[in-house]
Amino acid sequence: MSRMPAILTFAEQRDGKLRRPSLEAVSEARRLAGPLGASVATVLVGSGVAALTSELAAYGADRVHLFDDAALGAYATESYARALAQVIGEAKPPVVLLPFTAMGKDLAPRVAAKVPAGLVSDCVALTVKDGRLQARRPMYAGKAYATVTWEGEPQMATLRANVFPLGSPDTSRKAEVVEGSVDATTRARVTALEAAAGGKVELTEAQIIVSGGRGLQGPEHFHLVQELGEAFGAAVGASRAVVDAGWVDHQMQVGQTGKTVSPSLYVACGISGAIQHLAGMSSSKFIVAINKDPDAPIFKVANYGIVGDVFEVVPRLTAAVKAHFATKG
Ligand SMILES: Cc1cc2nc3c(=O)[nH]c(=O)nc-3n(C[C@H](O)[C@H](O)[C@H](O)COP(=O)(O)OP(=O)(O)OC[C@H]3O[C@@H](n4cnc5c(N)ncnc54)[C@H](O)[C@@H]3O)c2cc1C
């Protein structure tokens, strides 16, 4: 008895909440399901996470492979990879999609090696040609884009966060839940988790990011960037120069050796736009740059460039944004 093949996604959750890139992966699988003649299945691993299956269904999952076990509460590469590889071995999906998050970057290569499957990482677009997948991904820190195809199956890919649109959830959709179990023993064990102070918007998932660079001239001025970020309800990022100088935490670094972000709006304050910084943010949908040097390379990728002094422009922008939201209520 053969079932319609299913595109498989990995649903990453943290603290009992699905992360947005997981829902983007399900939405993208739903979009590809038509042209590939496939259904959509998702693997959900964790402890006490069964309630999340309805949200996955609403975004387009037809089936959820649920591994709900107290021993799987903390993420561990070995056990999570085992669960995913087990489902791939049984369901033989033509396509497997994971988010290109810290967890996805850790998990995908391990699963690809186990299955084995070809893995295309950090995809920014997927299309279907003659029943096969084609991926577009950046190369050489975003200097070039390659179109990549796979040999054999599964065609496995990780998807850059905030690039693939979320589908509209349909709460009347239901998914078949297939409960699975997996050996949860691991050679490495998480003994404690130290999270950074909560409440902040996660950079890779933020829709608006305000970033600051060396143009701010010292850590005592970084509050200007933070205030603009607060006015927008945005996440705050930074260039490596200011992270290396110890002005802000490494978690905030955007770029080749920091985080890759694709918000709807990226505001760069006093950042020159070195290739390594652009590698992490040039796929943002709208870029605004403030820099006193009209020849700064950041202006090459900016949709709006303000040639001016950050000490003058940023406070005025903050006031204008605050006034805008105040009148909007
Ligand atoms: C292997 C490698 C990996 C790297 N990875 C990263 C990475 O992940 N992320 C990253 O960001 N960098 C990375 N870098 C570093 C990168 O090459 C740049 O050195 C860095 O991005 C520069 O940061 P910046 O733009 O803040 O500083 P600068 O390049 O010093 O630029 C400061 C800018 O501020 C402007 N400015 C000065 N004063 C004012 C003012 N008053 N008002 C307005 N504008 C003003 C200047 O015109 C200038 O354009 C990496 C480098 C290497 C070699």
pLDDT digits (tens, 9 = 90+) for 255-277: 999 999 999 999 999 999 999 99
Cα(52) to centroid of ligand 1, in Å? 41
| Rounded average pLDDT over 111-123 | 97
CB-count exposure of residue 68 (10 Å: 0-12, 13-18, 19+)? buried
CB-count exposure of residue 282 (10 Å: 0-12, 13-18, 19+)? buried
Determine if the peptide bond prior to 294 is cis (ω within 30°).
Answer: no
Residue 68: CB partners within 8 Å, gap ≥ 6? 44, 46, 47, 48, 49, 50, 179
| Rounded average pLDDT over 194-208 | 79
Tell me the percentage of the chain whose pLDDT exceeds 90: 90
Ligand 1 pocket: which of 239, 251, 275, 312 to mutate (most atoms within 8 A of CB) = 239
| Rounded average pLDDT over 103-112 | 97
Ligand 1: which atom is nearest the Cα of residue 255?
Answer: 8
Nearest CA to ligand 1 atom 52: 276
What does the pLDDT look like over 173-186, one tens digit per residue? 999 999 999 999 99
Nearest CA to ligand 1 atom 37: 215
Nearest CA to ligand 1 atom 31: 272
What does the pLDDT look like over 29-55, one tens digit per residue? 999 999 999 999 999 999 999 999 999
Nearest CA to ligand 1 atom 50: 276
| Rounded average pLDDT over 217-239 | 97
CA 116 to chain centre: 24
Residue 3 has pLDDT above 90, yes or no: no
Ligand 1: which atom is nearest the Cα of residue 296?
Answer: 49
Supply the pTM of this predicted model: 0.89
CB atoms closer than 10 angstroms to residue 245: 13
Label residue 194 by pLDDT band (50, 70, 90). confident
| Rounded average pLDDT over 237-247 | 98
Residues with CB under 6 A from ligand 1: 213-215, 239-242, 253-258, 270-272, 274, 276-277, 280, 290-293, 296, 309-311
Residue with tokens 């006034």: 323
Residue 196: CB partners within 8 Å, gap ≥ 6? 249, 251
User: Pairing between strand 39-46 and 17-18?
Assistant: unpaired
pLDDT of residue 201: 74
Residues counted in the chain = 329
Residue 237 phi, psi (nearest 5): -120, 180
DSSP state letters, 8-74: EEEE-EETTEE-HHHHHHHHHHHHHHHHHT-EEEEEEEESS-GGGHHHHHHTT-SEEEEEE-GGGSS
| Rounded average pLDDT over 231-252 | 96
